[in-house]
Amino acid sequence: MAFLDALNDKISKLSQDAIQKTKDMSDSVKISNAIREEENQQNILYQKIGELYYHDCKDAAQGDFLVWCQQITESKNRVAEWKSRLQTIKGVSICPNCHSEVPVNSVFCNNCGAKMPQATVQTEEQTVKSGKICKNCGMPIPEGHVFCTNCGTKVEEEAAEESQEKVLETYSIDLEKQSEVKTCNQCGAVVPEGHLFCTNCGAKLEESVNPEIHEEVAQKVCPNCGKEIKEGQKFCTGCGTKL
């Protein structure tokens, strides 16, 4: 009997220990959840303080606060531009009353019935007419925008002028290259630079090949009837006039 009593005491003690551990574990989970909730509440309060400071003091901010406020402003501008582009792609506008998406050019919101402002939605083609290019990422800047819609970089006024100058410079270089193209004085084919013989007819090229010969040959006509004369003809095939 003494043995059984001792065994019962051990079993009872083990059960009580297990119950206590379970209770401790439950209390630990509760405390951890309570800590997490308090930390989340702190983050919400920090966010509210930051938003209040940004709205009331961003223009007078200094030091790190000024940098952070500027970063928030740039981020807000990027988000606004992306939302605008997304609306254009989806063909919708936002209801000012319930903020639902409404098909573009709708007179009333199909969700709350509020009257929609009749503002025209710019197309992708219309948003790229300013001629400005972002210095940071090279994307086109829509007319009237102060920040790049792709990377958020602030647009400077001289960016458009520099871009136009580069385009004009490139175009001038292309025209110069086209004016230097040489043609064969026999058949008028384009002659690659450095070649001594025409790759089309095999004629030996002079040291200096006139680039306008091809144009002159193509425009040669009969002085009597005006019919085009091909290279090597002695009589006009239209009127028989000797050339």
Distance CA 87, CA 84 (A): 5
Burial of 217 (0-12, 13-18, 19+ CB in 10 A): middle
In this predicted structure, what is the pLDDT of residue 125?
Answer: 45
* CA 148 and chain centroid, separation: 9
- Asked if 168 and 159 touch (Cβ cutoff 8 Å), the reply is no
Of residues 139 and 130, more confidently modeled: 139
pLDDT in tens, 102-119: 888 888 888 888 888 875
- Mean pLDDT computed over 161-186: 63
Is the pLDDT at 213 greater than 60? The verdict is no
Distance CA 55, CA 77 (A): 15
CB atoms within 10 A of CB 107: 8
pLDDT in tens, 47-105: 999 999 999 999 999 999 999 999 999 999 999 999 999 989 988 989 999 989 988 88
Of residues 3 and 19, more confidently modeled: 19
Distance CA 14, CA 5 (A): 14
Distance CA 155, CA 11 (A): 79
Radius of gyration of the chain (CA): 41
Q: Is the Cα torsion angle 204, 206, 211, 216 positive or negative in sign?
A: negative
Q: Dmax of the chain from CA atoms?
A: 146
- Mean pLDDT computed over 14-31: 80
Identify which of 220, 178, 213 has the alpha carbon closest to the alpha carbon of residue 198: 213
- Mean pLDDT computed over 6-15: 71
Least confident interval from 22-36, 89-103, 192-206: 192-206
CB atoms within 10 A of CB 82: 13
In this predicted structure, what is the pLDDT of residue 190?
Answer: 75
Is the pLDDT at 231 greater than 60? The verdict is yes
- Asked if 104 and 84 touch (Cβ cutoff 8 Å), the reply is no
Highest mean pLDDT among 72-81, 133-142, 210-219: 72-81
- Asked if 81 and 149 touch (Cβ cutoff 8 Å), the reply is yes
Tokens 């239209």 belong to 238
pTM reported for the whole predicted model: 0.38
